[in-house]
A and B are shown apart, each in its own frame.
Chain A
Amino acid sequence: MPLWLIDLNQMDEPHDDRHISIHATHPVAGSELTFGSVTDKISAIVLKRKTPIWWFVGFAISFALFQLMLLTITNMLFKGIGLWGVNIPVGWGLDILNFVWWIGIGHAGTLISAILLLLRQKWRTSINRFAEAMTLFAVAQAGVFPLMHLGRPWLGYWLFPYPNTMGIWPQFRSPLMWDVFAVSTYATVSALFWFVGLIPDFATLRDRANSKPFRLVYGMLAMGWRGSARHWHRYETAYLLLAGLATPLVLSVHTIVSFDFAVGIIPGWHATIFPPYFVAGAIYAGFAMVLLLTIPLRKVFGLESFITMRHMHNMAKVMLATGLIVVYGYMIEAFFGWYSGNQYERFMIWNRMHGPYAPYYWALILCNGLTPQLLWIKKIRSKLLVLWLISLVVSIGMWLERFVIVVTSLHRDFLPSSWGFYKPTQWDWAMFIGTIGFFFALLFLFIRFLPMISIFEMRTILPEAEVDEG
């Protein structure tokens, strides 16, 4: 019996009416699906359907925003960081907060792919491909910010330890260097994981493609995959090992990102709660983005048999759980601000609540603390429009959280004569909106040319995939 066909949920739950009805009304996959129909439905989106007009419209808009990003980058390469609103004391503004926001969003993809695989949650199957693609594209956006926030981005390669004529090496004891390695590794491993997962599906597309150029391209990408049992065995081993590697990786990456702040000594940053708080926040933001994207997509492509209400409920529950951890983080920050007795820590938390950026703080509590509590109610989780709106609010809330962490701690720290303000300029916003455009442009390309649901994994969760050794 293949390990991942053992449905742990059904094994452990008591068989009273309420529990049976949850699984009966919310199956992981529609009962009418067969191997053939799964293949046909998903590959048809890529190969057969005429590209719908809204795809062109959506791609055009996001591509235009991508141009805005390129314009911003070019302008900044010429004129420098002065175009942004960063100053002394707020040396880090939207640049770092957007970096953290994007990386955080990426983490949900790896969690769905890797961690849910290790936990044998069948429901991950129809969303993992899309979520991993989202991770890759989010990490790509994140990477732009640390590069552009350098004074001389064209010297960015100095961050890597290569033998150089200056005879020096990077300063490995710094969290900023840890970030370089962590994000590079995360991008590489995510890309590998995603690509390896795609190989059998490329083979499926190669065999279904009707035009020569598509067959050639998919064929090259499939690398001659033929579904040999020996190959599958090694493939599954590699996949499981990659999942096992990606799990500590995702935890470590956002931990290291949190160290960008936690290793610093200013109040509001120097806290041991940061690693778990950031990781939970990342998963929170990431699931919000996954929901934000899959709710319209399943409607538009008719994928309700693949991405079922069970998925919606489970994702909403994960969002609620991580949201609670994040709220705990806010409470504990407020608590130690007071309990420490340290005047600087106390002022920091007072300043967040009553200072010039207080509206952002309270908006944050509303978006991240109060709004997700609605998810306790099953009826609300079932109403997809409401769920979508809650996800939007959470995404904004997580952005506000990063804003509050970065800006409020920097703008007023130990010495009042150094206090200042931060106001993002139009170029700060242009860069951010540009990355959102690039993200969506990549997603549009992905849904048009690649199978957004893992075809071969969907086959494994159908009941007819069980080997009946009578």
Chain B
Amino acid sequence: MAQFDSPSTLVAAARETYAAGYRRINGYSPFPIEELSDAIGFKRTTLPLIVLAGGIIGAVGGFFMQYWMEVIDYPINVGGKPFNSWPAFIPITFECTVLCAALAAVFGMLALNKLPQPYHPVFNAPNFALATRDSFFLVIEANDPKFDHDEAMRFLKSLEAREVNDVEL
């Protein structure tokens, strides 16, 4: 793990690490850095698809709930409106769409991030508490195919890091 002082140095270091062939790398920062996820090679997430699926389920579910209840199961004549009064069903359908999509977004994000995850080895690293303040970290994980402990340490030290440390599991 290498510690940096600014987002620019972290991103530059991440690009170099990726260019050197390492793939199981990760960055840690106190705020989102768009270029960083590009630099470590993480570009696409399936979250938008999950949210879309949630929205579609909400829309279809909401509409058919109303349809089944008001047209099939127990139709009631309200003000002479037809049983399948679809304009009147729109507001609730819309709300169900938004609700299910939002639930999919939040719980999908948490699930994909495997959160809650109370323990992770990086918490053992020295100074890691600064990752939520003003420090930036780059980690090469041991299960990287190119990983060799001394080689990785030497490589990280060659980047302009403030400190380089080992992280124990």
Partner of A464 from the list B6, B29, B69, B99 (CB cut-off 8 Å) is B6
Binds A, one of B83-91, B146-154, B158-166: B83-91
**Complex Cα gap A291–B30 (Å):** 29
Q: Judge whether B78 and A173 touch: CB under 8 Å.
A: yes
B94 within 8 A of A: yes
Tell me, rounded to whole Å, the shortest Cβ–Cβ distance linking B166 to chain A.
17
Interface membership of chain A positions 235-268, coded 1 if the CB is closer than 8 angstroms to chain B and 0 otherwise: 1111001100110110010001001000000000
**Complex Cα gap A238–B7 (Å):** 22
A452 within 8 A of B: no
Q: Judge whether B91 and A242 touch: CB under 8 Å.
A: no
**Complex Cα gap A188–B100 (Å):** 10
**Complex Cα gap A470–B36 (Å):** 15
Residue of B nearest to A468 (CB): B8
Known contacts A172-B66, A172-B70, A238-B105, A226 near B28 by CB under 8 Å: yes
Note all chain B residues with C-beta closer than 8 A to A169: 69-70, 73-74
Most buried by B among A174, A178, A193, A467: A467
Which residues in chain B, 22-66, are within 8 Å of chain A measured between CB atoms?
A: 26-37, 40, 42, 45, 47-48, 51, 65-66
Q: Judge whether B99 and A188 touch: CB under 8 Å.
A: yes
Note all chain B residues with C-beta closer than 8 A to A3: 34
Interface membership of chain B positions 122-147, coded 1 if the CB is closer than 8 angstroms to chain A and 0 otherwise: 11000011011110000000000000
**How many residues on chain B are close to A (CB under 8 Å)?**
67
Which residues in chain B, 89-139, are within 8 Å of chain A measured between CB atoms?
A: 89, 91-92, 94-96, 98-99, 101-103, 105-106, 108-110, 112-113, 115-120, 122-123, 128-129, 131-134
Note all chain B residues with C-beta closer than 8 A to A184: 95, 99
Tell me, rounded to whole Å, the shortest Cβ–Cβ distance linking B139 to chain A.
9
Of the four ranges (under 10, 10 to 19, 20 to 34, 35 or more), the interface on chain A belongs to: 35 or more
Q: Judge whether A252 and B94 touch: CB under 8 Å.
A: yes
Partner of B120 from the list A172, A224, A238 (CB cut-off 8 Å) is A224
**Complex Cα gap A457–B96 (Å):** 30
Residue of A nearest to B65 (CB): A161
Tell me, rounded to whole Å, the shortest Cβ–Cβ distance linking B9 to chain A.
9
A459 within 8 A of B: yes
B11 within 8 A of A: yes
Partner of B45 from the list A204, A224, A233 (CB cut-off 8 Å) is A233
**Complex Cα gap A39–B73 (Å):** 57
Tell me, rounded to whole Å, the shortest Cβ–Cβ distance linking B53 to chain A.
12
Partner of B112 from the list A2, A185, A225, A234 (CB cut-off 8 Å) is A234
Given contacts A173-B79, A238-B47, A248-B98, 7 further A-B contacts (CB under 8 A): A2-B32, A39-B133, A192-B102, A231-B113, A459-B30, A466-B8, A469-B35
